[in-house]
Amino acid sequence: MKLTTSSFIKILMLIFFIITIIVEIFMLIGCLITVKYNIEMTDNINKAVGFIYMIIDTLGAIIIFDLVYLLVLHLLFFKKKSSTTP
């Protein structure tokens, strides 16, 4: 099997995507620990709800980033070009 430049770039993009997912999991764990600590230390329910919204915002940003990344990956490398098919 010959490794072409295009397939090498696809492999690199997938490796980068996996590394990105791992980093985002660590970000989410750190955010959860911070929010848990802040909720335990506060006595105001409005601040606690604000911390929960912070988790939801972080999770939403991660999901949006991943979806955009997958869309770009699909459009650049995995979409079949109609001009090359007979």
Q: What is the pLDDT of residues 23-75, one digit of tens each?
A: 888 888 888 888 888 878 888 888 778 888 888 888 888 888 888 888 887 78
**Residue 7 within any structural domain of the chain:** no
74 sits in the region (left: phi over 0; alpha: psi -120 to 50; else beta) called alpha
Polymer length in residues for the chain: 86
Q: Share the mean pLDDT of the chain.
A: 79
Q: Is 5 within the bounds of a domain? A: no
Cα angle vertex 19, ends 18, 21, to 5°? 65
Kindly report the pTM of this predicted structure: 0.60
Range of the domain at 51: 17-76
Token pair 């007979």 is found at: 86
Residue 30 lies in a domain: yes
Domain count, the chain: 1
